[in-house]
Amino acid sequence: MADHGGGDGRRGLVAAGTRFLLRRPRVLVALAGWSVLEAAHTFALGFALARALDDGFLRGRPAVGLWWLAAAVCGLLAGALGTSRVYRSVAALTEPLRDALVRRVVGRGLYEAVAGGNTPSGAARAGSSSVVSRLTHQVEIARDSFAGLVMVSRSFVFTAVGALAGLFLLAPALLVVVLPPLAAGLAVFALTLRPLARRQRMFLEADEELAGEVGRTFAALRDVTACGAEERVRRTGLLRIETERRAADALARWSVFRALALGLGGRLPVVLLLVMAPWLLARGVTAGALAGALTYLTQALLPALQSLVHGLGGAGARLAVVIGRLREEPQPGAALPRAQATPGTPPPTHAPEPEPVHPALELRGVTFAYGPGAEPVLRGLDLVLPSDGHLTVVGPSGAGKSTLALLVAGLLAPTAGTVRVGGEPPTSVERRVLIPQEAYVFSGSVRDNLGCLLPAGGSATDQRMLAALEAVGAGELVRRLGGLRAIVEPRALSSGERQLLALARAYLTPAPLVLLDEAGSQLDPAAEERAEHAFARRPGALVVVAHRISSALRADSVLVLDGVRTRCGTHAELLEHSPLYRDLTAHWVPGPRR
Ligand SMILES: Nc1ncnc2c1ncn2[C@@H]1O[C@H](COP(=O)(O)OP(=O)(O)OP(=O)(O)O)[C@@H](O)[C@H]1O
């Protein structure tokens, strides 16, 4: 995962933020002006209260006291006006930020859609629009976080200035009591801000990863069950939960410093003021000044410090993460022209580069072991299958055939190397469909069973379903069951019949790569051959993990998994060069060809 908060990233972020602010001097001046009015209200609050007591109520002159209280109310109204104008000025700062980010995000999204080809596929359009919608959501988070940061830091500075000025005017001795703990609290806060923000960011990222994992798992529950990957999914989920728990623990430990900063800077001055009241009174500080000082501390400084301490850590970390992402997206950004990287630059009008044609499947240096200390099942495997290729995988039991199928389906991640399906990581069920040996059929109509791997929102006509059933040799079975509306009771079907339904389901999907992992193992050889022929005629690429060696003869190429002697070639080449393949085929008695 990218370190959005790395030194360079943070410095870049601060520099970009400073440039953004300096380009708007008028808004900054207006913001400062209205903030001064807000600060005047803070000042008036304590000062007027002190005067009301000292010059009015304590001297038996209630009219003077009330006059000062009325002055405090006027200050309050002026402060409210200042606050409302402050919001406007902050909006004048944040809206241009949002506009610049939205322009950048939408420009990139449109460019991607155009660069996807003159007639982009539905999937490409959907992918592009989902990227734009995710990024615009992040833009909203960036805007809110930025506004929050401006509000809390500005509010603290002006409130502190107003309160400290008021304390000084009431009695300079008050500052002797208030300033040291306030400075200590701010120092603790400043020193722990960076590590705390880092923990906050780690927690946010762990939280997002967990949410993403849960979302992906729910979307692929049927695939997970069908491939028997429950244990792996459970372990990955637990790992993500554990990572988030650790991040939350670390954040909680560092949050203690927030409480310490608040205690030192916001609460200790109140206690000291009370404890040292006799000393202050002995030095000429009046009772009214003491009450005014308490008002400054409890009504202005403490709330402002609270907002600063809580707001700066959370909003700051969120902003750093989100801006970092917006700078990174989209991943193939390196292919974008340089001018495209500038916020607000419109998409280029020249013809986009043609999209490279990717093979259906590409493995580069794939190594996989089931545990850190376990012997790898696959070592440095390279494999390329063209978009209409037909590959059969053979090898002795335990050679890693099913493991390879799970890696290609994205249900296992390689220990080293890369797996690409159509040039992309194999995470999307729209790119590939895997039918394992244990066919998954659920209680429901035949139609539901056939359609459950269609892309979200997709459907197939009865005609297409019936054609798929006929193609793989399941037509007779479904007629016997009572047609597409008939309810399937999985336990009432033989394992071969369940495999026929699962094969028809895979045949029906638009996935450009089909993986059959001994998916016809319970069929008789003729039925298995018929199904494989159907898949070979279907547009797209096909990988068959062979149950019978006869599958190898039907493929364009054969992969013989045999540890370090793994080889790939045509049937004839392998007969010549692979002793294992010769052994495997030696006992095969060819049946009648169809
Ligand atoms: N979940 C797992 N945890 C640990 N080891 C595993 C796991 N699944 C498979 N293995 C081991 O990995 C190796 C390859 O298994 P895999 O199922 O991929 O072989 P295969 O070639 O498909 O075998 P078969 O033809 O018998 O189905 C075997 O040694 C197996 O014991």
Amino acid (one-letter) located at 524: D
Question: Domain check: are 161 and 110 in the same one?
Answer: yes
The total domain count for the chain is: 2
- Closest residue by CA, ligand 1 atom 7: 370
Give the mean model confidence (pLDDT) for residues 494-511.
Answer: 93
Question: Domain check: are 496 and 373 in the same one?
Answer: yes
* CB count in 10 Å sphere of residue 21: 15
Percent of the chain with pLDDT over 70: 82
Task: Name the residue range of residue 387's domain.
Answer: 361-586
Q: Partners of 517 in the beta sheet?
A: 545
DSSP string, 17-66: HHHHHHT-HHHHHHHHHHHHHHHHHHHHHHHHHHHIIIIIGGGT-HHHHH
Query: Ligand 1: which of 230, 233, 402, 521 to mutate, most ligand atoms within 8 Å of CB?
Result: 402
Report the pLDDT value the prediction gives residue 296, as an integer from 0 to 100.
94
Q: Give the position, in ligand 1's atom list, of the atom nearest the Cα of 518.
A: 27
- Indicate whether 266 belongs to any domain: no
d(CA 359, CA 389) in angstroms, rounded, equals 9
CATH number at residue 515: 3.40.50.300
Question: Domain check: are 388 and 530 in the same one?
Answer: yes
Structure tokens at 537: 């005629």
Question: Domain check: are 516 and 377 in the same one?
Answer: yes
Residue 9 pLDDT > 80:
no
- Closest residue by CA, ligand 1 atom 16: 400
Question: Domain check: are 159 and 65 in the same one?
Answer: yes
Residue 530 pLDDT > 60:
yes
Give distance in angstroms: CA of 545 to centre of ligand 1. Answer: 13
Give the mean model confidence (pLDDT) for residues 259-287.
Answer: 94
**ipTM rounded to 2 decimals:** 0.97
Please work out whether the CB of residue 402 comes within 6 Å of at least one atom of ligand 1. yes
**296 closest CA partner among 44, 32, 37:** 44
Residue where a domain terminates, one of 341, 376, 411: 341
- Indicate whether 245 belongs to any domain: no
- Indicate whether 386 belongs to any domain: yes
Question: Domain check: are 456 and 552 in the same one?
Answer: yes
Question: Domain check: are 441 and 564 in the same one?
Answer: yes
- Indicate whether 407 belongs to any domain: yes
Give distance in angstroms: CA of 392 to centre of ligand 1. Answer: 18
Report the chain's mean pLDDT, rounded to a whole number: 82
Residue 127 pLDDT > 70:
no
Residue 159 pLDDT > 50:
yes
Give distance in angstroms: CA of 400 to centre of ligand 1. Answer: 6
- Indicate whether 236 belongs to any domain: no
Tell me the CA end-to-end span of the chain in Å, nearest whole number.
52
Q: Give the position, in ligand 1's atom list, of the atom nearest the Cα of 406.
A: 18
Q: What is the pLDDT of residues 163-206, one digit of tens each?
A: 999 999 999 999 999 999 999 999 999 898 888 878 887 888 88
Please work out whether the CB of residue 588 comes within 6 Å of at least one atom of ligand 1. no
Question: Domain check: are 311 and 402 in the same one?
Answer: no
Q: Residue 123's pLDDT band (boundaries 50, 70, 90)?
A: very low
Report the pLDDT value the prediction gives residue 67, as an integer from 0 to 100.
95
- Indicate whether 16 belongs to any domain: no
d(CA 75, CA 164) in angstroms, rounded, equals 17
Report the pLDDT value the prediction gives residue 334, as an integer from 0 to 100.
34
Please work out whether the CB of residue 75 comes within 6 Å of at least one atom of ligand 1. no
Q: Residue 131's pLDDT band (boundaries 50, 70, 90)?
A: low
Query: Ligand 1: which of 234, 235, 377, 406 to mutate, most ligand atoms within 8 Å of CB?
Result: 377
Structure tokens at 357: 């044609």
Per the CB < 8 A criterion, the answer to whether 381 and 566 are in contact is yes
Structure tokens at 534: 């159907």
- The sign of the CA dihedral 263, 265, 271, 276 is positive
- Closest residue by CA, ligand 1 atom 31: 398
Report the pLDDT value the prediction gives residue 479, as an integer from 0 to 100.
94
Q: Greatest CA span in the chain, whole angstroms?
A: 119
Report the pLDDT value the prediction gives residue 107, as an integer from 0 to 100.
67
Q: What's the CA angle centered on 384, arms 571 and 223, to 5 degrees? A: 100
- Indicate whether 177 belongs to any domain: no
Q: Among the listed ranges 105-114, 449-458, 563-572, which one has the minimum average pLDDT value?
A: 105-114
Question: Domain check: are 323 and 387 in the same one?
Answer: no
Give the mean model confidence (pLDDT) for residues 89-99.
Answer: 81
Question: Domain check: are 33 and 157 in the same one?
Answer: yes
- Closest residue by CA, ligand 1 atom 18: 400
Q: What is the pLDDT of residues 343-394, one digit of tens each?
A: 333 344 444 455 557 889 999 999 999 888 888 999 999 999 998 899 999 9
Residue 340 pLDDT > 60:
no
CA distances from 572 to 409, 546, 555, 561 (A): 29, 17, 12, 17
Strands 513-517 and 541-545: parallel
Q: What is the pLDDT of residues 30-70, one digit of tens each?
A: 888 888 888 888 888 899 999 999 999 999 999 999 999 99
Question: Domain check: are 375 and 516 in the same one?
Answer: yes
Report the pLDDT value the prediction gives residue 166, as an integer from 0 to 100.
93
89-98, 102-111, 486-495 — most confident range: 486-495
Per the CB < 8 A criterion, the answer to whether 266 and 178 are in contact is no
| Environment class of 132 (CB within 10 Å of its CB; exposed 0-12, middle 13-18, buried 19+) | buried
Q: Is the peptide bond before 330 cis (omega within 30 degrees of 0)?
A: yes
312 Rama sector, left if φ>0, alpha if ψ -120 to 50, beta otherwise: alpha
Give distance in angstroms: CA of 398 to centre of ligand 1. Answer: 5
Give the mean model confidence (pLDDT) for residues 465-473.
Answer: 94
Please work out whether the CB of residue 401 comes within 6 Å of at least one atom of ligand 1. yes
**317 closest CA partner among 145, 482, 107:** 145
Structure tokens at 304: 């402002």
Question: Domain check: are 73 and 31 in the same one?
Answer: yes
Query: Ligand 1: which of 235, 370, 393, 438 to mutate, most ligand atoms within 8 Å of CB?
Result: 370
Please work out whether the CB of residue 451 comes within 6 Å of at least one atom of ligand 1. no
Per the CB < 8 A criterion, the answer to whether 535 and 516 are in contact is yes
Residue 263 DSSP code: I
Residue 4 pLDDT > 50:
no
Amino acid (one-letter) located at 284: G
Report the pLDDT value the prediction gives residue 237, as an integer from 0 to 100.
85
Give the mean model confidence (pLDDT) for residues 242-263.
Answer: 89
